[in-house]
Structure 1
Amino acid sequence: MPQTKSMDRQTVKQQTFEIVLCLFQDDPSQGCIETDGVGDGDDKFDPVPIANKLKEVADQMQKQWDKEFPPALLKFKHAHQKKDTNAAFSHAVDSVCQHPIVVEVVPEMRLINAAVALCLYLKSQAPELTTDIQQATTSFLDARVGSFVAEQGGWGAVARVMLL
């Protein structure tokens, strides 16, 4: 990736939250969240195109990981009963990432792709758990790739290099 200026972690955390909210909207262009102009470089941060790009990449990756998702769904539902959804989500993403994929990417991008693909699968299969899936996805992305995203200059910079 080209040299970029890093972004503070709190801004990345807020961006992650907004993007995950948009991932769960059927039509994010209808306004998934009001932004107050959180900066992403010289541009104003807009979570909608980033969420759309993540969905596009996740759709492509999901085909390669489709056998991994049904067991993850069962584990997530079981963990939900025990109030341990963050750990179940994290474990499922790690499990998915152990399997080969056609397109090789840096480990952080692989985590992002797997997390988004998994959250969208869980959303489609267990809509009653939407709030927990959103929370687990946001928590996972912040904890596991937040520093990487900040180093790249924010989610806008990361989205620009996804599957070029």
Structure 2
Amino acid sequence: MAPKDIVEQTYEIIDCFFDPSSKSSDIETDCSVGDDDDSFDPCEIAGKLREIGDEFDEQTIHQFKRALENDSNQVEAAFTKTAEALSNTWMAERGEVAMEKHLLRASVTLGLYVQRNYPKMASAVQVAMTAFLISRVAPWVSQQGGWDRVASE
């Protein structure tokens, strides 16, 4: 799958992630995903991502919470730092799992946390989460064959 397609799909998935009421038919798709990719459903993938994001390290989340409360201009930096800290902790516990899966899980965990506890910050975190996934996880998603394959694992 082309990296551009992964980037476009990432935007669609994160849009669904932050708006659980949306349906796939509501999402405008500009990407050309090809005939063999008709199974791509960003809202279904967003739902699967929500399932993996329910666990978190309370101390790390507390630091993220403080960063959100103290400086809303630093959301992306705080998001990146916290996602990396969570994934490094999980990597130490389960080194056999690909680092990108830990990064994905950490991103989703933070996104859910903000959605539930700081809904006013959700749009800023949505931007940070999308940028983080595109820069840190999208190349791996492409190597795996796309978001639909990653979500089905």
Indicate whether the TM-score tops 0.5. yes
> What displacement does 1:79 show?
3.4
SS in 2 for 1:50: helix
Q: Percent identity?
A: 33
Q: Which has the higher helix share?
A: 2
Question: TM-score, structure 1 length as denominator?
Answer: 0.80
Distance, in Å, in 2 between the alignment partners of 1:133 and 1:115 is 10
Partner AA of 2:5 in structure 1 = T
> What displacement does 1:30 show?
7.6
Contact 1:23 1:52 in 2 (8 A): yes
Return 5+ residue gaps in structure 1 as ranges. Answer: 1-6
Distance, in Å, in 1 between the alignment partners of 2:26 and 2:18 is 9
**Which of 4, 8, 20 is the aligned partner of 2:2?**
8
Distance, in Å, in 2 between the alignment partners of 1:40 and 1:106 is 27
Q: 1:159 to 1:40 in 2, by over 3 A?
A: farther
Root mean square deviation, CA, Å: 2.3
In structure 1, what is the equivalent of residue 19 of structure 2? 25
> What displacement does 1:40 show?
6.8
In structure 2, what is the equivalent of residue 93 of structure 1? 83
In structure 2, what is the equivalent of residue 39 of structure 1? 33
In structure 2, what is the equivalent of residue 51 of structure 1? 46
Contact 1:40 1:155 in 2 (8 A): no
Partner AA of 2:134 in structure 1 = D
> What displacement does 1:77 show?
3.1
Distance, in Å, in 1 between the alignment partners of 2:90 and 2:37 is 36
The number of residues matched between the two structures is 150
Question: TM-score, structure 2 length as denominator?
Answer: 0.85
Contact 2:20 2:43 in 1 (8 A): no
